[in-house]
Amino acid sequence: MNDNQPVFEQVMEIIENGIINKTWQVDELIISTTQISRLYNVNPATAMKAISRLTERGILYKRPGIGMCVAQGALEKISAERRDVFLHQTIDAVLLEARTLGISLQDLIDELTTREGTHSHD
């Protein structure tokens, strides 16, 4: 766990990552709060809070007698949210840092183009 975000948000991210990389697919059971608290050394109450927030957002749902499962459309919902964060906050931060370091916009564009070029040859 890092030191700047609330732990429950970090647990939410761990679960979201698991859905994005398809560790848990739609209607499949996710990791339990007990398992989360053991694995990541977090308080079970905190793990529970992360799961209830994801349930409120329609990412997870409860299957009575079984446990928490991935909801229909969860992957798309998470991707859309992350896309939004990337296009705004992440890019803002990159632009700001570039300005601080005196990297021109053109240099930045050139750098991105070269990178994308090498990646597409992979």
Partner 1 sequence: MIELATVTKKYRHTMAMDSVSLTIPDTGVYCLLGRNGAGKTTFMKLIAGHIRSTSGTITIDGVKVSPGRMPDCVSYIESDSVQFNMRVSDLIDTACLLQESFDRDFAKEMTERFELNPRKRFRQLSLGMKTMLTTIISLANNSTVILLDEPTLGLDPIVRDRFNTMLLESYDAHPRVIIVSTHQMDEIAQVTQRLIIIDQGKLLMEAGIDEIDEKAYTLSGPTQEVLPLVSGLNCIGTTQAGGVLAAHIFDQRIAVPEGVSVDRLGLKDFFINIVRRENHA
Give whichever of 26 and 87 is closer to partner 1, judged by the CB atom.
87
User: Minimum Å distance from CB 98 to partner 1?
Assistant: 12
Give whichever of 5 and 23 is closer to partner 1, judged by the CB atom.
5
Q: Cα separation of 69 and 43, whole Å?
A: 21
Residues at the interface with partner 1 (CB under 8 A) = 3-8, 34, 37, 41-46, 49, 93, 96
User: Minimum Å distance from CB 49 to partner 1?
Assistant: 5
User: Minimum Å distance from CB 43 to partner 1?
Assistant: 5
